[in-house]
Copies of this chain bind each other. A is one copy, B any other.
Amino acid sequence: MNDIEIFGNTQRGLEFIRETKQKRFSLSLVISYTATSEIPGITIAGEHPELIKFTGPADAEFIHYGYCKSISVIPMTPDGKPTPALLTKSALEAASIPSVAINAGSKVSPKLPFIDMNLDYGKNIKKEPAQNIDQVGKAVEYGRIIGRFLGASTDCLIIGESIPGGTTTALGVLEGFGIKGLVSSSMPHNPTELKIQVVREAIERLGSNDPFEVVAQLGDPMIPTVAGMLSTASEVSKVMLAGGTQMAAVLCFAKSLGFDGKNTAIGTTSYVVEDKSANLIDTISHILDVPILAAKLKLAKSQIAGLRAYSEGFVKEGAGAGGASIACMLKTGIDADGLLHSAESEYVKSLDCD
């Protein structure tokens, strides 16, 4: 496993790797929406502002079909940087890892069968509470039910997310819980100032530091859903939280519900870990003693400019890409060169479908 780096508690990281090597994995992609993403300049997700709401559904569709149904092309920036769902898809395919989409407040339903949490999408936290307390409670309860099912159905449940604007709500929740840590971004010049400004305005509404109030005011529907899933799935299987600082926000909330980090690792890409503006490792260490596994992807070596861009600070992670890459390596023994090859083939295939 030379292409997986361990950060945080090395001992626990090695244990996680040993106990999941060659085992069964499955991936659940939690798609959601926060109207916070509509603040100009806050996210690169979606080629055009009116397409932002299709990001989650399109990621879910891409992972299933290898192309998108809700929009005519793969979610891509104007200059051809594809969604990280492409990395997720190619890694899952190379390792025959099954996946399922979970709709936790997406504004648009994906065009495939999905697990429905029956949640509203999150409001713009700059202007108003993201969601009411009851919805947070329901997301946790429904998350617990589905986490129990999915955890019992695998040896290691990978939980990824796709929610444009989600790093800002993650920052909000982290700040609300008193964790100082900057968040990662899909853009190389992280619009940190803008995000901090949004969170500062939102946090003024905070009436108490009750965990449900924090997530209701500052979060999004993905965070309590994944926290609920984590709490039950980790009782019966390993759980890999696939993502960067958004999963830090999930851990923070889960901890407030009594979760102790059992059977859990963060799975991400080295690009997120290396992101100076985010400092994921430090942030996680202030929350819970869970190991961080990072896939050392070799996208810098790619023939394809859109894939090289990941290594240059764009996109970095999302849609479970890091976790799926790690799982692929753990299950099959494929290395980062093999993953790159699969991703390039998938990229070429996706262009053919246009």
Contacts and interface: CB of A to CB of B under 8 A. Distances in A.
A149 B100 contact: yes
Which of A64, A103, A152 is packed against the most chain B CB atoms within 10 Å?
Answer: A152
Interface of A: 24, 26, 64, 96, 98-100, 102-103, 109, 112-118, 142-143, 145-146, 148-150, 152-154
Contacts of A100: 115, 146, 149
B149 A112 contact: no
Contact of A26 (B114, B142, B153): B153
10 contacts: A98-B148, A99-B149, A100-B115, A102-B113, A103-B116, A113-B117, A113-B142, A113-B143, A115-B116, A150-B153
A146 B116 contact: no
Contacts of A117: 113
A64 B142 CA distance: 11
A333 B112 CA distance: 38
B98 A153 contact: yes
A148 B96 CA distance: 11
Contacts of A114: 115-116
Given A118-B113, A153-B98, A145 B26 contact: no
